[in-house]
């Protein structure tokens, strides 16, 4: 599957989180998934990309035009250029089969909420997975539950995010998705 991995590209992120990105990427690559990412070479995003390349897995960068020069420093299998972050986020959503959000900052949160809004507005079935490593996203999940209780979002909006907290749970989730996709393909073939 083509999986967008959203995470911090800040080079000051603690080593523990960069290691998480590398370990997640190893699991994804070894299970024949393809990486969709923002073309960043720093922080967790850079670690994720480098691990995919090390594992010999396919990568696709979707970058803003102003950051195109950064691609000269890294070797991706494919790339697309968008004029701004809004267009880049749309293209990432359209190019992915799964959205995986690791710990990150404002950019990662902006992507997460953009993906959730797109899923809501299109009645899409894009899996959006929040990797709640070391309870990183507990405050965000509490906030979402709070605004649900206050009536600002619906229960269906709250359920648009699937949460995992470790690599094994992520692997099981993705295997279940693959089985569901295979069943859909089998039904199509029978028709």
Note the pLDDT of residue 106. Answer: 96
Any idea what the Cα angle at residue 21 is, between residues 12 and 168, rounded to 5°?
145
Note the pLDDT of residue 189. Answer: 64
Q: Which residue has the tokens 């089969």?
A: 97
Q: Which residue has the tokens 């699991």?
A: 27
Note the pLDDT of residue 187. Answer: 67
Instruction: Retrieve residue 173's tokens.
Output: 């989730």
Cβ 24 vs Cβ 8: under 8 Å:
no
What's the rounded Cα separation, in Å, for the pair 94 and 91?
Answer: 5
Note the pLDDT of residue 133. Answer: 97
Partnered with residue 35 across adjacent β-strands are 3, 59
First to last CA, the chain: 24
Third-level CATH fold of 2-190 = Rossmann fold (3.40.50)
| DSSP letters spanning the chain | -EEEEE----TTS-HHHHHHHHHHHHHHHHTT-EEEE----SHHHHHHHHHHHHTT--EEEEEEGGGGGGGGGS--SEEEEESSHHHHHHHHHHH-SEEEE-S--HHHHHHHHHHHHHHHHTT----EEEE-GGGTTHHHHHHHHHHHHTTSS-HHHHTT-EEE-SHHHHHHHHHHHHHHHHHHHHHHHH-
The tens place of each residue's pLDDT in the chain, 191 residues long, gives 999 999 999 999 999 999 999 999 999 999 999 999 998 889 999 999 999 999 999 999 999 988 888 787 788 999 999 999 999 999 999 999 999 999 999 999 999 999 999 999 988 899 999 999 999 999 999 999 999 999 999 999 999 999 999 999 999 999 999 998 887 776 666 66
Partnered with residue 63 across adjacent β-strands are 81
Cβ 24 vs Cβ 5: under 8 Å:
yes
Cβ 10 vs Cβ 42: under 8 Å:
yes
Sequence ranges of the domains in the chain: 2-190
């Amino acid at each position: 599957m083509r999986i967008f991995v959203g995470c911090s590209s800040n080079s000051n992120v603690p080593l523990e989180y960069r290691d998480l990105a590398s370990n997640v990427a190893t699991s994804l690559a070894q299970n024949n998934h393809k990486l969709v990412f923002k073309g960043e070479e720093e922080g967790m995003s850079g670690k994720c990309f480098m691990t995919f390349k090390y594992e010999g897995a396919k990568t696709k960068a979707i970058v803003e035009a102003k950051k195109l020069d950064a691609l000269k420093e890294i070797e991706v299998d494919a790339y697309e250029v968008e004029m701004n972050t809004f267009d880049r986020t749309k293209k990432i959503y359209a190019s992915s089969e799964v959205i995986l959000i690791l710990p990150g900052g404002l950019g990662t949160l902006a992507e997460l909420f953009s993906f959730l809004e797109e899923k809501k507005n299109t009645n899409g079935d894009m899996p959006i997975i929040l990797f709640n490593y070391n309870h990183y996203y507990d405050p965000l999940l509490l906030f979402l539950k709070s605004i649900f209780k206050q009536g600002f979002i619906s229960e269906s909006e709250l359920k648009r995010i699937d949460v995992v907290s470790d690599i094994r749970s992520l692997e099981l989730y993705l295997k279940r998705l693959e089985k569901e996709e295979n069943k859909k393909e089998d039904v199509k073939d029978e028709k």
